[in-house]
Amino acid sequence: MFEALTEKLESIFKKLRGRGILKEEDVDQALREVRIALLEADVNYKVVKDFTARIKEKAVGSGILESLTPGQQVIKIVHEELIHLMGSSETKIKLSPNPPTIIMMVGLQGSGKTTTSAKLANHFRSLGRRPLLVAGDTKRPAAIQQLITLGNQLGIPVYHSNESTDPVKICEDSIKKARIDARDIVIFDTAGRLHIDDELMEELRKIKERTSPHEILLVVDAMTGQEAVSVANAFNEKLSITGIILTKMDGDARGGAALSMRAVTGRPIKFIGTGEKLDNLEPFYPERIASRILGMGDVLSLIEKVQKAYDLKEAERLEKKVREEQFDLEDLRLQIKKIRQMGSLEGLLSMIPGFNKLKGINIDQKEFVKVEAIINSMTPEERRNPSILNGSRRRRIALGSGTTVADVNRLLKQYNEMKKLMKAFKGKKGFRLPNIFQI
């Protein structure tokens, strides 16, 4: 996310920090480079122009250049302006005081609307809500079945009709069903098109008119850059959307849509899709995204991911096993599974301040898969007591996991080295496992 833009901005600001005294022409030169970097990231031209003008006004007009750390001060201004550009603070979904809260999902075909509807339902369920998904897209043949499949995976009910093909009636009837079943969130997955047309907008306008949704969320593909902004403008003019969800943010190295959307449409980004899994939907925090763009990391999001994957009791159980030298391969397998649930390692490590500056680090996600496969091919007794793994057992495990005996030997060697390290640290006076769950 934002990889290309981050690298360019870091290079620009490194020059600024390296100078003890800054002149106005130094700021002008840096802002010219910032302007080019943002335009190459597909940020709207007018947004870029206004953004750099505000930075110059603050940097040159407030005595910043005479300060002891002018370079750092300019970067601070850029950070503040990035936050302002993207909306200043998180904008949450407005929940109705009289349930159910009705959320209407709109967007073009291919933007990920159906999957995002399921992700949003999953998000609300994690908050203790009782969502109902509604299959309101009767135009695309596979849309209803896709939503039902996603709902089954999540254990969330999907309302659909075998009698009616009228999306307006289906959405109206779903609200009655939600009240009967005490569902407090109703999410309409509406039809899309490959392009905006009058028929689509008329259908969506009728659904809005007859159901009075509390939120109309536009789902757009972040990787389409300024095209996404144009789509958002068009939907906003016709439907008065209340917010935006940007999908495929994990594949967007430029970031033009995220940086332009609020300024051009006046509508907030409420969520971003960060992967294909059904829990890869995150609230949009302008301050955290601004920090990521400037290479400052995003420790708060990292902590939240860890807290979601672990709980305090589990952490205490793990610490007890390490203290008593009972950490076995079953425990290792569980830890690997937890890490994989949090997303890609590159994505997690990019949230650590300064990590993106470390070059030449090759993180192979496939190694985790290989290790998990090897441990899965062991019997419960072998996982608890790896010392019984003789040559024939190792050959059987390699065959069962699709790896080699050398891979099995390497894993066991690393496991033994890990145990030695744990034992060495345990012997230190005052040793305590770091509890990242209380950071």
Per the structure, the count of domains in the chain is: 3
Examine residue 290 and state whether it is found in any structural domain, yes or no: no
pLDDT at 361: 46
Residues 193 and 164 in one domain: yes
- 314 and 423, same domain (yes or no): yes
Q: Is residue 315 part of a domain?
A: yes
Which region among 8-17, 112-121, 256-265, 294-303 has the lowest average model confidence (pLDDT)? 294-303
Do 56 and 107 fall within a single domain?
Answer: no
Listed residues 62, 86, 110: the one ending a domain: 86
In this prediction, residue 185 carries a pLDDT of 96
Checking if the pLDDT of 422 tops 60, the result is yes
**Same structural domain for residues 41 and 179?**
no
Q: What is the mean pLDDT of residues 25-33?
A: 86
Choose one of 229, 250, 284: the last residue of a domain.
Answer: 284
Q: Is the dihedral of CA 369, 372, 374, 377 positive or negative?
A: negative
Q: Are residues 315 and 274 in the same domain?
A: no
Instruction: Answer yes or no: do 59 and 146 share one domain.
Output: no
- Which pLDDT belongs to residue 437? 34
- Specify which residues 346 forms β-bridges with: none
| CATH at 234 | 3.40.50.300
**Residue 359 covered by a domain:** yes
Q: How confident is the model at residue 429 (pLDDT cuts 50, 70, 90)?
A: very low
Average pLDDT of the segment spanning 211-236: 90
Q: Can you tell me the mean pLDDT for 352-360?
A: 49
Domain co-membership, 213 together with 158: yes
* Within a domain: 312: yes
Instruction: Give residue for tokens 């009967």.
Output: 180
Supply the pLDDT for residue 167.
92
The pLDDT tens digits of the residues spanning 34-81 come to: 899 888 888 888 999 999 998 888 877 666 666 656 777 788 888 888
> For the residues 276-285, what does the mean pLDDT come to?
89
Same domain, 242 and 346: no
Q: Is the pLDDT of residue 210 over 90?
A: yes
Q: Domain range spanning residue 385?
A: 303-438
> If you average pLDDT over every residue of the chain, what do you get?
82
Residue 291 in domain: no
Does 58 reside within a domain? yes
- What CATH number does the domain containing 37 carry? 1.20.120.140
Long-range pairs for 67-75 at CB < 8 Å and ≥24 separation?
70/16, 70/19, 70/21, 70/22, 71/13, 71/16, 71/17, 71/18, 71/19, 71/22, 72/17, 74/13, 74/16, 74/22, 74/27, 74/30, 75/13, 75/16, 75/17, 75/294
Output the pLDDT for position 409.
93
Q: Choose the weakest-confidence range: 59-68, 95-104, 282-291, 424-433.
A: 424-433
From residue 15, give the alpha-carbon distance in Å to each of 10, 18, 193.
Answer: 9, 5, 47
Angle between helices 365-376 and 405-426 (to 10 degrees): 100
- Domain boundary among the residues 58, 86, 114 is at 86
Lowest mean pLDDT among 8-17, 197-206, 316-325: 316-325
> 139 lies in a domain?
yes
pLDDT at 273 over 80: yes
Q: Quick one: 434 and 313 in the same domain?
A: yes
Q: Encode pLDDT of 136-162 as tens digits.
A: 988 877 889 999 999 999 999 999 988
363 in any annotated domain: yes
pLDDT in tens, 78-91: 888 888 988 888 88
pLDDT for 212 equals 94
What pLDDT is stored for residue 313 in this prediction? Answer: 66
pLDDT at 438: 34
Residues 142, 272 within the same domain: yes
Average pLDDT over residues 202-207: 94
Same domain, 255 and 120: yes
For residues 71 and 191, membership in a common domain is answered with no
